């Protein structure tokens, strides 16, 4: 199989490290033309404008297309650039979306049958992008709605060590998260699954964000940062907007239909593994 990745971000690069050997060729796009040192990946520059003929040809030849480029105000840039290549093809398309499309449910449980809430601009753009990829593939796209991503170099242990971790307290607030290893497993399972659909990719235990920081501090044997009340904490508008939504997202469909067994079913499992690997030291 030949794999092409539209947007070589954190999750996509990790997927290649874990499963790149399953493909006869791996290629993908980066925004910065100077970024060509990704081992084992044939790199193509693409910033949303007109792609090169070589890039178009690689997309045309791909058996699997993994899409992690976020949409913009003008729509999905990958659809705009490569939509014509997809017509009449039978390649597998996996689109990485976000559980943010569900919006606020006051901490209640939601699943894939829960209608998205197009309240924020970024949510409306995501919902539109999901539909665009579904339409472009005749309903065969696998839409993976990812929770908050953590993994090597991107976790509570690392932020504590860097001195940037915060414990923002908003009563009743929970977030959902997923280790990047489990994202890689979900992508591979979606590639092998017949047909399209929507699956939530998150762990088993939505939790208040301060609990994650507290557990990481316990592993490191350090005092956690002081608690800060959400109402008075200094935060960017973007950071504050994430606290406007609280929902517990179910992963039962991921496990039932795609057969994914999570390596890190809770944040504790994930942080334990990262600590053993030397993170935060």
- What DSSP state is assigned to residue 102? G
**pLDDT tens per residue across span 34-54:** 776 677 899 999 988 889 999
**pLDDT tens per residue across span 124-148:** 999 999 999 999 999 999 999 999 9
Q: Are 201 and 176 in contact (CB under 8 A)?
A: no
* Among 118, 119, 91, CA closest to 191: 91
The reported pLDDT for the residue numbered 259 is 98
* Among 38, 93, 33, CA closest to 65: 93
Angle between helices 10-19 and 180-192 (to 10 degrees): 70
What's the whole-number mean pLDDT along residues 246-259?
98
Split at pLDDT 50, 70, 90, the class of 85 is confident
Q: Which spans in the chain are helix H?
A: 10-19, 53-61, 77-86, 121-136, 156-162, 180-192, 209-220, 237-242, 252-257, 267-276
What's the whole-number mean pLDDT along residues 154-170?
97
- What DSSP state is assigned to residue 175? B
**pLDDT tens per residue across span 211-224:** 999 999 999 999 99
Q: What are phi and psi of 173, to 5 degrees?
A: -75, 130
**Which residues, listed in sequence order, are joined to residue 16 by a DSSP beta bridge?**
none
What's the whole-number mean pLDDT along residues 202-212?
98
Q: What percent of the chain has pLDDT over 70?
A: 98
Q: Are 124 and 118 in contact (CB under 8 A)?
A: yes
What's the whole-number mean pLDDT along residues 78-101?
90
Instruction: Indicate the average pLDDT of the chain.
Output: 95
Split at pLDDT 50, 70, 90, the class of 87 is confident
């Amino acid at each position: 199989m030949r794999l092409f990745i539209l947007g070589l971000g954190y999750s996509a690069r990790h997927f290649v490290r874990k499963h790149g050997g399953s493909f006869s060729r791996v290629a993908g796009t980066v925004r910065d033309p100077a970024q060509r040192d990704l081992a084992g990946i044939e790199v193509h520059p693409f910033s949303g404008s007109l792609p090169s003929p070589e890039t178009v040809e690689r997309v045309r030849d791909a058996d699997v297309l993994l899409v992690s480029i976020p949409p913009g105000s003008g729509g999905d840039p990958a659809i705009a650039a490569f939509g014509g290549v997809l017509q009449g093809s039978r390649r597998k398309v996996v689109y990485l979306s976000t559980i943010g499309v569900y919006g606020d449910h006051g901490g209640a449980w939601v699943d894939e049958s829960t209608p998205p809430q197009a309240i924020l601009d970024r949510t409306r753009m995501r919902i539109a992008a999901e539909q665009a990829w579904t339409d472009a593939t005749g309903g065969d796209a696998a839409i993976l709605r990812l929770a908050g991503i953590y993994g090597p170099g991107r976790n509570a242990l690392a932020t504590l060590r860097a001195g940037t971790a915060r414990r923002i307290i908003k009563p009743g607030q929970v977030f959902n998260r997923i280790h990047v290893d489990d994202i890689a497993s979900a992508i591979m399972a979606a590639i092998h699954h017949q047909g399209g659909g929507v699956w939530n990719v998150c762990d088993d235990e939505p939790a208040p964000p301060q609990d994650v920081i507290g557990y990481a501090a316990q592993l490191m044997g350090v005092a956690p940062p002081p608690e800060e009340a959400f109402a008075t904490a200094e935060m960017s508008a973007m950071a504050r907007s994430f606290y406007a939504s609280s929902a517990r997202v179910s992963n039962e469909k991921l496990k039932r239909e795609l057969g994914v067994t999570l390596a890190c079913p809770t944040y504790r499992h994930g942080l334990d593994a990262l600590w053993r690997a030397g993170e935060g030291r």
